Structure 1
Amino acid sequence: MFDLNGKNVVYVGGFSGIGYQVCHLLMKKNISHLIVMGRMENVEMMQKLQAENSSVEVVFIHMNLMDRANIEQAVKQVMGVIKHIDVLINGAGVLADKDMETTMGVNLMGMMNMVWLCLPYMDKMQMGQGGIVMNIASVYGLEPAPAFPVYAAAKHGVIGFTRSMADQHHYQHTGVAFFVVCPGLTTSEMMVNLREKSMMGQQSYAGELVKAMGHAKHQSPEDCAMNIVNAMEIMKNGAVYLCNMGQLKEVMPTNYWHL
């Protein structure tokens, strides 16, 4: 089990839906610092988080996940606040298949750049003390998304990257555990205007696919966040979790080839 007490936590993502609820739960864990990194600050939400626990230092740092140089500068700002990172949560997500560059850039490339730039401050062989990297993917990283194939490709990439970084050869040297949580459909701003976001939505036959997503049963952000924090505390290196309808279930991917 991973004890969050006294830990420096960096959360990358927005303030709506799952993101805020995860931060809200972390504030109850007596962490040392909560650093939120994202494109737009929500001052009201930041003040609300800080009011929940005055002993935790809450800081917002502006960052554009589409710009590696900007990410590098933002990480330097983080390290001006803390000396090492114990927990990195990559929770930023975009559902916008019509804009392939943004969909791949935020969901996959931005996440990988964050890991590369933060890892020296986590790696016990460099400037860190070990810790955990949690990447938030999607159920569509585990299975096809006919209405959103670009989003599915990005989230499949998140899982592949996470599992690769969790290899024991890395873990035994760095002390950094990697695992991934795949939420099912969750009530959030992301699920609004799905047809307009889908590259396939303009095809007459694809409308039913988009409509089915909109009408499917969704879990609450609160339930999803609770299981994300549970997965953090379990801290099983290499784990892939499905987080859906209040349940956290480990998925066991098949390995077909070994070195």
Structure 2
Amino acid sequence: MAYDPTNKVVVVTGAARGIGYEIADQFLQNGAKTLIILDILEDIGLKAVKTLSDKYGEGKAVFLKCDVTKDLEKVSEEIFQKYQVDVLVNNAGVLNEASFRQTIEINCTAVVEWSMKFWEYMRMDKGGRGGTIYNVASLYGFQYNPWTVFYKASKYAVIGFTRSLGHPYNYDKTGVRAITICPGFTDTAILTGNTWDWHKEGFENVMENEVILQTPETIGKAVVDIFTFAETGTVWVKENNEPIKLAPLCT
């Protein structure tokens, strides 16, 4: 397949703001045909669409209100009836160490369910035309330290799932590429999520003294930059404002 963002229809979850919004912006900047923003934040999502439409043209961006844990069937049916989707970016996420269940439902279960729905839809061996699925995990998906235990569990799972789904054995049959993106510490609303009380001081010390905080724009650009060449099943890390690179994972 030719991997070129030009004229692609792209769906991004959690794209009203932050990393998701910047991924949307970069795809449109690089010639995407239509960008479908999914988010539970309706007011912010509609403002995002207006901004992108003013920037790239009327109708280039579309907003659908969506809770990724509840609205898969309804929203995906609406999308598939109107568009021929080429790219899905599962970006919606949460940092909530007060709730293991919510963390897993949003960060992991929803990612798996949305991936499989669009994977089946895109499969060339079932009449689709192939495509790309990006799943946004985290640098914390393979780092070892004591912080954000539930968040790490969810992101470890996303990496394992996406690597396996994107294995060349599966790609050769389906024509659907699956790639994992692992941002490091990025200046987004997720950093205001709650941690265990007795972890708070240590985690804040890490953020203040051990990492270089990135902007969401750098992540959005990096995601689209690798679109043309990233191999299926690969995991990419973008941290400390360094260039995006392959993760040092075992094969």
TM over 0.5: yes
User: Map of 1:19-168 to 2, 5 A cutoff?
Assistant: 19-41=20-42, 42-54=45-57, 57-67=60-70, 70-82=71-83, 84-168=84-168
Aligned residues: 245
Q: Is the 8 A contact 2:19 2:216 kept in 1?
A: yes
Shift of residue 145, structure 1, vs aligned partner: 4.5
Deviates more, 1:47-56 or 1:4-13: 47-56
The secondary structure found in structure 2 opposite 1:247 is coil
Q: Structure 2 residue aligned with 1:242, among 229, 237, 240?
A: 237
Query: Where do 5+ consecutive residues of structure 1 fail to align?
Result: none
SS of corresponding position for 1:24? helix
- 2:169 is equivalent to residue 169 of structure 1: yes
* Residue-by-residue CA offset, 1:62-93 (whole Å, 9 max, x unaligned): 221222xx2111100111221x3211111111
1:4 aligns with 2:5: yes
For each residue in 1:6-55, what CA deviation from the matched residue of structure 2 results, as whole angstroms up to 9, or x when unmatched? Answer: 11111111322211111111111221221111212222211111122227
Q: Could you tell me whether the CA contact under 8 Å between 1:32 and 1:55 is conserved in 2?
A: no
TM-score, normalised via structure 1 length: 0.89
RMSD over aligned Cα, in angstroms? Answer: 1.6
Question: Structure 2 counterpart of 1:89, which letter?
Answer: V
Which segments of 5 or more consecutive residues in structure 2 lack a partner in the other structure?
A: none
Other-structure match for 1:222: 217
- 8 Å CA contact 1:219–1:246 kept in 2: the answer is no
Q: Once structures 1 and 2 are overlaid, which stretch shifts more, 130-139 or 120-129?
A: 120-129
Pair 56,128 (structure 1): closer, same or farther in 2 beyond 3 Å: farther
Secondary structure of the residue aligned to 2:190 is helix
Cα offsets for 1:175-211 (capped at 9, x unmatched):
011111100000111112x5xx11x3x22xx343222
* Residue identity in the other structure for 1:19: G
AA aligned opposite 1:224:
I
Give distance in 2, aligned partners of 1:126 and 1:51: 38
Sequence identity (%): 26
Mapped to 2, the partners of 1:80 and 1:50 lie a distance apart of 22
Contact 2:28 2:34 survives alignment (8 Å): no
Please give the alpha-carbon distance, in whole angstroms, between the structure 2 residues aligned to 1:105 and 1:157.
Answer: 12
For 2:221 and 2:212, the matched residues in 1 are separated by 18
CA distance 1:46–1:145, change in 2 (3 Å): farther
Structure 1 letter corresponding to 2:250: T
Residues in 1 aligned to 2:76 and 2:242: alpha-carbon distance in whole angstroms: 33
1:89 aligned counterpart, secondary structure: strand
Distance in 2, matches of 1:127 and 1:63, equals 27
